[in-house]
Amino acid sequence: MDETQALDALGALAQETRLRIVRLLVTAGPDGMAAGAIGEAMGATSSRLSFHLTHLEAAGLVQSRRDGRSIRYSAVYDALSGLIAFLMRDCCQGHPEVCTPAVAALSACACPSPEPAA
Amino acid sequence: MDETQALDALGALAQETRLRIVRLLVTAGPDGMAAGAIGEAMGATSSRLSFHLTHLEAAGLVQSRRDGRSIRYSAVYDALSGLIAFLMRDCCQGHPEVCTPAVAALSACACPSPEPAA
DNA sequence: TTAATGTCTCAAGACACGTTGAGGTGAAAG
DNA sequence: CTTTCACCTCAACGTGTCTTGAGACATTAA
């Protein structure tokens, strides 16, 4: 992820409704949710919801596919992990003060295998 | 870090000049840099720079202290790591697709000790 | 076809954001 | 004390963002 993509992603996440949508879709898993279900969870009108979903999709954070008369939205995990990696990149240039607490927070979660394939 | 703080931090980072300032200050280390040196690196007028530095300080991402006739700004590492932890929190609820690549990216860097004190 | 459902598009308005330029404040030097 | 330097504050302007409401499009059922 380059700076332009990171700025798009950060801008997309820097809005209450959109941040909640992404968090909702991440927990919803790969199948995602229908737009209507998201709108109900957000308490947003269809127009407002569509605006934010379009914004998130343009930023590459979510993707959509039609399913019958619904449209299902799901999180793009690569985009989110890419953004996190982008934010962590700097600290590795001799200043691990950012990385270490982040990894500690990670380890405190229930992630199965926190070590890479290498 | 709660949602409100995360939104402030994301909004502060979602702007080219501010994102570059933060990245510059993270690599600059705990001593930080004088406002003038930051402005020179950014190619920004003093007014514009001050606006963005004030914005970043209000978001808790940087802090300032006077040093002679200069004012030195430095990154607040806790805020950045807190934001990253906030973004990674969701994935741990059964969907490690976000965490794992992020940790892999971390390990690919030269961070000395990627395991917490525990 | 007609009707109902789910979602998107568009225009308009209110509001927030980023930049600029002029001017002000605090600290050091002569 | 006056000047210079480094930086901040303020008002104003153009631009972008978010919300709303009306309407259109696509899909399915009767």
Residues of B in contact with A114 (CB under 8 A): 99-100, 103
How far apart are alpha carbons A22 and A89 in whole angstroms?
A: 23
Q: Is the CB of A57 under 7 A from strand C?
A: no
Query: Who's near A42: CB < 8 A, 6+ residues apart?
Result: A17, A20, A21, A24, A49
Residue B12 lies inside a defined structural domain of this protein: yes
Chain B residues 1-20 within 7 Å (CB) of strand C? 11, 15, 17-18
Task: Name the band, by pLDDT with cuts 50, 70 and 90, for residue A117.
Answer: very low
| pLDDT reported for residue B106 | 63
- Chains A, B: CB pairs < 8 Å: 180
A93 touches B at CB < 8 Å: yes
Query: Given its phi and psi angles, is residue A94 left (phi above 0), alpha (psi -120 to 50 degrees) or beta?
Result: left
By the 8 A CB rule, do A75 and A82 touch? no
Place of tokens 């402005």: B39
The H or E element containing residue A57 is: helix A46-58
CA angle B95/B100/B102 to nearest 5° reads: 120
* Residue A118: inside a domain: no
* Residue B115 banded pLDDT, cuts 50, 70, 90: very low
Q: Does A14 touch chain B (CB under 8 A)?
A: yes
Residue A117 belongs to a domain: no
More confident position, A96 or A60: A60
Contact B10 A10 (CB under 8 A): yes
Identify the CATH number of the domain in which residue B31 sits: 1.10.10.10
Q: What pLDDT, on a 0 to 100 scale, did the predictor assign at position A98?
A: 67
Report CB contact under 8 Å: A97, B81: yes
B54 lies in some domain = yes
Say yes or no: Cβ of B84 under 7 A from any atom of strand D: no
For chain A, the helix, strand and coil percentages under 3-state DSSP, each to the nearest 5: 60, 10, 30
Are the C-beta atoms of A60 and A76 separated by less than 8 Å? Answer: yes
Domain count, chain A: 1
Q: How confident is the model at residue B71 (pLDDT cuts 50, 70, 90)?
A: very high
Structural domain range at position B68 = 1-113
Report residue A35 as tokens: 């737009």
3-class state of residue A62 by DSSP? strand
Put simply, the answer to whether B107 touches A91 (Cβ < 8 Å) is: no
Q: What is the mean pLDDT of residues B56-79?
A: 97
By C-alpha distance, which of B103, B113, B38 is closest to B75? Answer: B38
Give residue-wise pLDDT tens across range B32-54.
Answer: 999 999 999 999 999 999 999 99
Counting residues of chain A whose pLDDT is more than 70, the rounded percentage is 79
Residue B93 has pLDDT above 90, yes or no: no
Query: Is residue A8, in this structure, part of any structural domain at all?
Result: yes
- Quick check: A109 and B92 CB within 8 A? yes
| Global confidence as pTM | 0.89
Residues of A with CB below 8 A from B82's CB? 101
CA distance readout (Å), A90 to A62, A79, A83, A84, B85: 26, 18, 12, 11, 16
Q: Give domain status of residue B78, yes or no.
A: yes
- B89 is a domain residue: yes
Angle at B98 (CA atoms; ends B58, A59), nearest 5 degrees: 65
Whether nucleic acid strand C comes within 7 Å of the CB of B55, the answer is: yes
H or E segment to which residue B23 belongs: helix B16-28
Mean pLDDT, residues B16-29: 96
B118 belongs to a structural domain: no
| pLDDT tens string A32-82 | 999 999 999 999 999 999 999 999 999 999 999 999 999 999 999 999 989
